Structure 1
Amino acid sequence: MNGKEFTVSEVVDHLGVNGHTWLMFFLMIFAMIFDGYDFMVVNTTNLFVAHTFWPDNPNPGALMGSLTTWGLLGMVLGGAVGGILSDKIGRKKMLTIAVIFYGLFTLPQAFANDLVFFAAFRLIAGFGVGSCIPIVTTVFSETIPSKQRGVFVTIGMAGMVAGWVLAGVIGNPICNTATPIFGGFTNEVTYLNADGSSATMYANWRLCYLIGALPIIYGIVLHFFMHETPHWFANAGRMEEACKALNHLQRSAGQEETHFDPKLLVVPPKPAKTSPNILFSKKFIVPTAAIWTAYFVGQFCVYGMNAWLPTWFKGIGYTPTEAVALQTWNNVAAIASNCCVGFVADRIGRKRNLAFSWIFCIVAIVICSVFVVPNNFGLSIALMLLFGFALNYAITAVQPLMPESYPTAIRNTGVSWCQAFARFGGSASSIVLGGIAGMAMFQTAEGATNWSSVVLVLIVPFVLGFICCLLFVKETGGKSMDELAGDGRTDASDTGMTNFIIMLVVIAFLFITCIVCPLAITDWSKLPIALPLMAVGVLLPFVYFFIFATPHRKAYFAE
């Protein structure tokens, strides 16, 4: 560039939105659609899968909640490993592998006849699903110009929610078809209702998982059409390839190619170490606290309620078809919120937008709890539109902050470990909420679950999210990725290892009390000690960050 030093961000911002931007956008959108379908297909089909696996148990409770949990646990592991690999081998290679992987291992779930077989392949497929989402977020942040980054990142997340909607639109009619679609493969099932009567259905839900294998084909598409990001090339020391990638951007923008001298390409200093423990060093623990707590809250509430929405509406008198339809309307609103949140974040800032989202969620929860009633399908649709818009606005408001919190060398490690941790919230929430729903204080006089009361429990995590936003979130909007990276160097002696080990202990406690115990101990939620232990498990991560991140706030905000 005329003999002057330059950065990747300067070139990307100068070229603006161009053909390459849109190509990457649509490739990432479809990756997220498939990813979203794979996750939500379980919540769409869980009533029918439960009837198949436990035909003599009309209220499998935590067992049915675990159908969602196994995939989320796989996503935890996949996100943690996939993020590190993406920083090592590249965004393109890792995303292609992840998409093919989860498509391949979703296929056997169609043939499951018991929880063990289903859970095993759900867990394995989750490895790929968990790797996909953080890579997409990182690719957006490294591809999109600074001024439009928030909009593209959040609209990209709408692709995932579109996959959720497709799971409902496709799964609802398939599961409720009164005849077998594939003969003996979609076998007849006789099951017990809560009132002791018996009913018959066909296991047409299996077809939904056959459809879930389509990402195998899409992974091949990614291999041939996706480009590696110049940010990753530059950070990996492959300067000539980074410059060639920048030339490709110029061609896509319709501009004459410039000679980019690899020797003049400036890359922000990298951390001394790039392992996950560095996220807990003095330099990074405050942004880690900000995005980990916020995304944990979002995952706990969004994934937990998505798992139980059909059960809620079926419990107050709606048919299974209407119940799944209401869940789908909830997710339709989520698409709208994902498209809006980025525009607002780019205009008023990340921190204000996130703080507003927590307050908005609290109001929406109270309204839905008070006004959801049986025999008024139109009102319930309106309430689910509000509910889905508010909750998904909040979780998506965190997305731009994730890649903006770390330098390129640990960006996808940071994003993926944040999402992996948050999925413990998502994994635990379906079980915790199912356990809470079975407690006497949340039962009606007739012995049914009062889900309107259970929903109010979500106010607690949203209040915590608001407090953490005020304490730990630093404004990052409008700055280039290289500006945000700044001096990424860390003190070689400050590895964050001690804090990291303590955090792993906290996560282990959460995992044992909120996931293992409810699944391993019969009637766990009815034990007097259950609720206090689960509450401690969910709240302990917040206590951890209040203790270990607060002392470093002043230095972090002064940078």
Structure 2
Amino acid sequence: MTKTTISAIIDRLGVTRYTWTIWILVGLALVFDGYDYIIVAYTMPQMAQEWGLTKVQTGSLASWSMLGVVIGGVIAGMCSDRFGRKKTLAFFVAFYSLLTFPIYFAPSFAVFAMLRIISGIGIGACIPVAITLASENFPTKNRGFFTAATLCFYGWGWVLGGIVALNVVPVYGWRVCFLIGGLPALYAIFILYKLPESMAWLIGKGREAEAIEIIKRMEKVATGKSGEWLPGSIVLPAPAKKVGVSALFSSGYVKATIGVWLLYFMSMFIIYGVTSWMPTLLVERGYGLVLGYSFSILQNLVGSIGGFATGFVADIIGRRKNVIISFLFTAAAILLLGSVTGKWPVLIIAVLVGVCMQYANGGALPLMTEIYPTEFRNTGVSWAQSFGRIAGFLSPLVVGYVQQVGLDFSNTMKMFAFPAIICVLVSVFLIVETKGRTVDSVVGIKA
């Protein structure tokens, strides 16, 4: 009897309609996730005015959800590795949606903060689960592109948030934006019925028959017919000696874990500091609500180009080299943004910063999914994301503080060049190359 692995099957079939279906189904969950997170950035000026908030309190509007995001990321990995990727994703999509809806009725800053912390648990849980589920269904030679491109959906959620706010806030007020944020709960039901479970996870749990049924569906989509699969024909990779959080710091993984954690922390500090405050800073500089919001929408929309490009380039030149180059360009673009003057030069360079940020962050994603085996892959991804979200909590507060003590727009932007340089150094000394590594072949990273 011929034996094979899940990775070998996926690699043999290549990119098919099944691949694109997985990408879109997972991606839509991230669109709604991105909307529910970013909508705060577009309603910060109105909430600050209604509740009479200081600059630091205004910055905290974008930070409260990050407390929940950290918690969500931590528990999502363990839930996903135990109960399955699909069920965990569907549950947390419903969770963050149903907890965003009540913000429409929030009577005060304190109630808003409480609801955002709780809904943030779901927001934080979805990204690592979605990225892990998607990456386990992509061919090895295309995985860098598809994994990075999957995160573009999250950015498109930010674009959606800006479009909704631009049309809703002036007419109906900021609260309706959160009412709309409750609608994705319906998509959770769709996920349960339409999204296949990860075959790698099913095999790891001894559910080979279910994995074979999915394989047959893949083959029919790709070739028009399915093969005969006997029980025991799919080979399991050698089981990991450890599982859970302790495995992330075991021999063979500790250096890679530290490197990825630092890389993602600094990347999140840049992205969430810039994107959370940019609409408000532009409005305060006299750009007006329409122009300020339109620019932020454009920044996130064009930024998705970086997300697509980084995965494509990473599959060609390698993950490590791609990350080093991307954060060098990010630092340069940020310094340029802090140096230019004039309305249109600022807007043009700020769009460039958006592209560079998304390119750099997307370049780090394949590393997360490729350095850990199936048994604790989602735990590894989720803990790295959770650690990074701590920076997402701190960054808007730091920007609020430096604004409150008098730092101007230019110097505030230049501040973000430092974490970009740190990312370059981390990539040089701590990151190892994972290009070409199949999801079944991970048995330890020897750095």
TM over 0.5: yes
The match for 2:412 is 454
Q: What does residue range 12-91 of structure 1 map to in structure 2 within 5 Å?
A: 12-54=10-52, 57=53, 60-91=54-85
Structure with higher Rg: it is 1
Q: Distance in 2 between matches of 1:409 and 1:366?
A: 42
The match for 1:499 is none
Q: What does residue range 412-431 of structure 1 map to in structure 2 within 5 Å?
A: 412-431=378-397
Tell whether the 8 Å contact from 1:36 to 1:160 is kept in structure 2 after alignment.
yes
Q: Distance in 2 between matches of 1:22 and 1:257?
A: 19
SS of match in other structure, 2:132? helix
The match for 2:446 is 556
Q: Distance in 2 between matches of 1:268 and 1:215?
A: 37
Q: Distance in 1 between matches of 2:399 and 2:238?
A: 45
The match for 2:183 is 214
319-328 vs 62-71, which deviates more? 319-328
Q: Distance in 2 between matches of 1:372 and 1:24?
A: 44
Quick check: 1:435 aligned with 2:401?
A: yes
Q: Distance in 2 between matches of 1:425 and 1:93?
A: 28
Return structure 1 stretches of 4+ with deviation > 6 angstroms: none
Q: CA deviation at 1:245?
A: 2.0
Q: Distance in 2 between matches of 1:239 and 1:411?
A: 19
Quick check: 1:111 aligned with 2:100?
A: no
Q: CA deviation at 1:276?
A: 1.0
The match for 1:341 is 310
Q: CA deviation at 1:173?
A: 2.7
Q: Distance in 1 between matches of 2:100 and 2:256?
A: 35
Letter in 1 for 2:384: C
Map Cα deviations across residues 515-552 of structure 1 (whole Å, 9 max, x no partner): xxxxxxxxxxxxxxxxxxxxxxxxxxxxxxxxxxxxxx
Q: Distance in 2 between matches of 1:472 and 1:260?
A: 42
Distance 1:372 1:159, change over 3 A: farther
Tell whether the 8 Å contact from 1:349 to 1:476 is kept in structure 2 after alignment.
yes
The match for 2:430 is 472
Q: Distance in 2 between matches of 1:167 and 1:437?
A: 25
228, 231, 235: which one pairs with 2:197?
Answer: 228
The match for 2:281 is 312
Q: Distance in 1 between matches of 2:255 and 2:341?
A: 39
The match for 1:263 is 232
Quick check: 1:411 aligned with 2:367?
A: no
Q: CA deviation at 1:226?
A: 0.5
Q: Distance in 2 between matches of 1:335 and 1:147?
A: 21
Tell whether the 8 Å contact from 1:330 to 1:384 is kept in structure 2 after alignment.
yes
Q: CA deviation at 1:112?
A: 0.9
The match for 1:96 is 90
Map Cα deviations across residues 415-434 of structure 1 (whole Å, 9 max, x no partner): 01100110001100110122
> Percent identity over the alignment?
33
Tell whether the 8 Å contact from 1:329 to 1:381 is kept in structure 2 after alignment.
no
Map Cα deviations across residues 307-333 of structure 1 (whole Å, 9 max, x no partner): 111232233322233222222222122
The match for 1:5 is 3
Quick check: 1:238 aligned with 2:230?
A: no
The match for 1:493 is none
Map Cα deviations across residues 77-117 of structure 1 (whole Å, 9 max, x no partner): 01100111000000110011011111110000111121121
Structure ranking higher in helix proportion:
2
SS of match in other structure, 1:398? helix
Q: CA deviation at 1:127?
A: 1.1
350, 353, 360: which one pairs with 1:387?
Answer: 353
Letter in 2 for 1:302: I
Tell whether the 8 Å contact from 1:176 to 1:321 is kept in structure 2 after alignment.
no
The match for 2:135 is 141
Question: Which ranges of structure 2 fall in alignment gaps of 5 or more residues?
Answer: none
Map Cα deviations across residues 265-289 of structure 1 (whole Å, 9 max, x no partner): 2111222332212211222111112
Q: Distance in 2 between matches of 1:166 and 1:288?
A: 33
Kindly report the root-mean-square deviation, in angstroms, between the aligned alpha carbons of the 2 structures. 1.4
The match for 2:255 is 286
Tell whether the 8 Å contact from 2:38 to 2:161 is kept in structure 1 after alignment.
yes
SS of match in other structure, 2:176? helix
Question: Which ranges of structure 1 fall in alignment gaps of 5 or more residues?
Answer: 182-203, 444-448, 489-554
Tell whether the 8 Å contact from 1:104 to 1:213 is kept in structure 2 after alignment.
yes
Q: CA deviation at 1:438?
A: 2.5
Q: Distance in 2 between matches of 1:262 and 1:66?
A: 54
Tell whether the 8 Å contact from 2:56 to 2:404 is kept in structure 1 after alignment.
no
Q: CA deviation at 1:164?
A: 0.2
Map Cα deviations across residues 443-474 of structure 1 (whole Å, 9 max, x no partner): 3xxxxx41211111112111111111011111
Q: CA deviation at 1:383?
A: 1.6
396, 399, 402: which one pairs with 2:362?
Answer: 396
133, 136, 144: which one pairs with 1:150?
Answer: 144
Q: Distance in 2 between matches of 1:404 and 1:255?
A: 31
Q: CA deviation at 1:406?
A: 0.2
The match for 2:324 is 355
With a CA cutoff of 8 Å and minimum separation of 6, indicate the structure with the bigger relative contact order.
Answer: 2
Q: CA deviation at 1:384?
A: 2.0
Tell whether the 8 Å contact from 1:68 to 1:427 is kept in structure 2 after alignment.
yes
SS of match in other structure, 2:365? coil
Q: CA deviation at 1:290?
A: 2.0
Q: Distance in 2 between matches of 1:131 and 1:428?
A: 19
Q: What does residue range 189-200 of structure 1 map to in structure 2 within 5 Å?
A: none
The count of corresponding residues between Structure 1 and Structure 2 is: 447
Quick check: 1:161 aligned with 2:155?
A: yes
Q: TM-score, normalization: structure 2? A: 0.97
Tell whether the 8 Å contact from 2:64 to 2:117 is kept in structure 1 after alignment.
yes
Q: Distance in 1 between matches of 2:396 and 2:27?
A: 27
Letter in 2 for 1:31: A
Q: CA deviation at 1:148?
A: 1.1
Q: Distance in 2 between matches of 1:388 and 1:368?
A: 11
Q: CA deviation at 1:255?
A: 4.2
